[in-house]
Amino acid sequence: MLKSLMRWVDSWSMPAQAETITAENTQIQWLRILPFILLHLACLAAFWVEVSWFAIAFMLVFYLIRMFSITAFFHRYLSHKTFQTSRVMQFIFVLLGTMSAQRGPLWWSAHHRYHHRYTDTLQDPHSSTHGFWYSHVGWFLNEYNFAPRKEVIKDWLKYPELIWLDRFSLIVVLLTASGIYALGEWLALSYPQLGTSGLQLLVWGFVISTVLLTHATLCINSLAHHSGSRDFDTDDQSRNNLFLSIITLGEGWHNNHHYYAGSTRQGFYWWQIDVTYYILKIMSWFGLVWGLKPIPARVYEFSKIAQARKLKKAAKKGAQNIQSGES
């Protein structure tokens, strides 16, 4: 029990990652994940705190801000280094991502790098071979995937502020929830016409927003390896999914990403909506980020879309040749 309580406070209290998967270290750690369970149960409070347009607006805005921070900075920046930014911007957006209650930024990026190294094999932390629910939530509820895989994130260990955020991510989350509650109480006193309160804003603006954000992100590990199209032949089960791309601001083009992870943009074609990339592009105009890595031309040569176009063009040309021969 003491060990589980220590892990709530300091996620680095477990000294090292388990070397092999066993039946024991893949069991759900119910006491350690109690905050995760309580977060979901707290959604039921929505039936008692009522709702206001301001609470819904806050819920959506806070969802989008943190989703962008996760997709742009936890994923495309920390995990893949597809663009560059200043240390100040790095801290601001990694802090916002840490408010998402998806563990620490180094833990997140380390496991994602490990996922790419062993995608859909037994060594993949959330391999689809273990089934949908394990790849969705089961993988991070056990002991095997609790500690950060420091050996694959040595490039980020030189930043003490990132280490602090990674170790004490729960403290950041609790301070975020407290701040939102305080904001709601202040608004109730200063702007009663908004119809909100501390408890209402906490439930809708933090609890429900965070649960939606969490499962939208987790769907990339689970649903994006089960449902969707495949524009590229990869050795894994990654899929492209428009719905997931919308709710995750571009992360749903997962098959594209697994074919070539070195690009800032994951929607490889103009019709593949990638809001995160659009925002990063705008930020680059103001010098907030730079060095956005493009999609190499060779990538498109191996796309099934490009191949289908070539076949269609060849078939059309063949039909024209036949018609000209007959005439």
pLDDT digit string, tens, across residues 183-230: 999 999 999 999 999 999 999 999 999 999 999 999 999 999 999 999
> Is pLDDT at 131 greater than 90 in this prediction?
no
> Is pLDDT at 180 greater than 70 in this prediction?
yes
**Ordered alpha helix ranges (H), the chain:** 2-9, 34-41, 46-49, 53-68, 87-98, 105-117, 132-136, 160-167, 169-190, 198-201, 209-221, 242-247, 254-259, 275-285, 297-301, 304-326
Q: Which residue ranges make up each domain of the chain?
A: 2-295
> Is pLDDT at 236 greater than 60 in this prediction?
yes
Q: What value does the mean pLDDT take over residues 15-37?
A: 74
Give the global pTM. 0.90
CA distance 250 to 234: 19
- pLDDT for residue 122: 79
